[in-house]
Amino acid sequence: MSFEYASVSKGLMISLALTSIVVGVFDVKHYFHLQLVPHISKYHQYWRLALHNIAFANSSDLFLAELILYQDGIQVERCFGSLKFASFLVVSTLLSTLLEFISLLLFHRVGLNHLSSGPLTLVFSILYQYSRIIPPIYEFRVFGVSFNNKSFIYALGIQLAVARLPGSGAAALIGILAGQIYRSDLINLKSYRLGSTIVNLSTRFLHPLLGLNRPPRRNNRAFPDPSRRGTGSRQANTSSQDEEVVTTARPSSTGMDSRIRATAAAGAGGTSVVRDWVQGLTGRGDGTTAGVRIPLESEINELTNMFPDISREAVIGALQRRNVEGAVETLLSSQIS
């Protein structure tokens, strides 16, 4: 998984890691601790309500939170879009801060006097959105109990919620409640979007700091089976030419196989061009086409009608190499090039 179309999640993860490391290095963790008595009730340090959401107090919570955000934050952002996801983070943080303050006032007499440092409420609010909008990919059973691929992320969330009870558990419940309020749209929170000024400034100054988010190009190289290779010196001469490069990355002008493009573009080259290409591919010098796909007459007529400017031999060559859909792509690319 990459950070493609998930620049906000990438920025969030980097920011949490940097702030948590800086807080630990400079030994200022005590400023990020939120406790009703005496911080708020006696000294009226309300700034702690906002400050305690900036950084985690220990590395274990930071590690679990980063794992959860990497698994669910990227997918939720791709579903929402970066602008809506960033607006959701702001709304969820403000709503969670308000709910935290109310929870401390209501439940401090039953033992809830402090909340764990770090944006736990935000992590669980994102996790709630993930549970509602992202479907499972696969399911499996362990001793008769059904699980799916999302169960591993939920296990990390449970571990983070029970790490420092009761504060961590209360933060997890508040985050889930904030996610429910946002999704139910009781007070029209879904319609909120960040202003254009903030978006433009972030795009101009912050986005370049995150670097590229595109995944690396991956090539899958497939080799012809032994029956399609020559023998002896013929095999040694054609071994480097028999390779077929199949890529699952984005199509580009330089990623197309040059042999296919040259064959499809040679409309006036006649049958000899197709025959030479087939012989070079199969490693056979007798002109036979063993191992090559034999196209149907209906397929040839269909593509001939679609591409009247391309010769019949070039159409047959493209169909021998690929199926109908692939041959259409090859012929289109030959016309573009």
The CATH number assigned to the domain holding 73 equals 1.20.1540.10
**Residues 135 and 112 occupy one common structural domain:** yes
Residues of the chain with confidence (pLDDT) below 70: 1, 215-292, 335-337
pLDDT digits (tens, 9 = 90+) for 142-167: 998 999 999 999 999 999 999 988 89
227 and 281 share a domain? Answer: yes
Q: Range of 89's domain? A: 7-210
Does 301 fall in a domain?
Answer: yes
What is the Cα–Cα distance from 80 to 183, expressed in whole angstroms?
A: 12
Residues 25 and 157 placed together within one structural domain of the fold: yes
What region does 27 belong to: left with phi over 0, alpha with psi -120 to 50, or beta? left
Integer Cα distance of 272 and 275 in angstroms: 5
Q: Could you tell me if 196 and 321 lie in one domain?
A: no
Residue 1 counted as domain residue = no
Q: Domain count of the chain?
A: 2
Domain endpoint, select from 152, 182, 210: 210
CB atoms within 10 A of CB 315: 26
Q: Is residue 285 part of a domain?
A: yes
215 falls within a domain: no
Q: Which of 210, 236, 266 is the last residue of a domain?
A: 210
Q: What local confidence, expressed as pLDDT, does residue 102 receive?
A: 94
Residue 185 lies in a domain: yes
Residues 177 and 30 in one domain: yes
Inside any domain, residue 278: yes
What is the DSSP secondary structure assignment for residue 303, as one 8-state letter? H
User: Is 230 a member of any domain?
Assistant: yes
Q: Is the separation of the CB atoms in 279 and 300 below 8 Å?
A: no
Q: What is the pLDDT of residue 210?
A: 86
CB count in 10 Å sphere of residue 51? 15
Q: Same domain, yes or no, for 188 and 248? A: no
My answer on whether 33 and 170 are in the same domain is yes
Residue whose token pair is 């399609």: 228
Helix (H, G, I), strand (E, B) or coil at 307: coil
Supply the pLDDT for residue 308. Answer: 81
- Is the preceding peptide bond at 119 cis, omega within 30 degrees of 0? no
Same domain, 117 and 79: yes
Per-residue pLDDT, 54: 92
Give the pLDDT score at 223.
53
Indicate whether 159 belongs to any domain: yes
Query: Same domain, yes or no, for 235 and 123?
Result: no
Co-location of 225 and 317 in the same domain? yes
The reply to whether 138 and 205 lie within a common domain is yes
From 183, 210, 237, give the residue that closes a domain. 210
Same domain, 17 and 95: yes
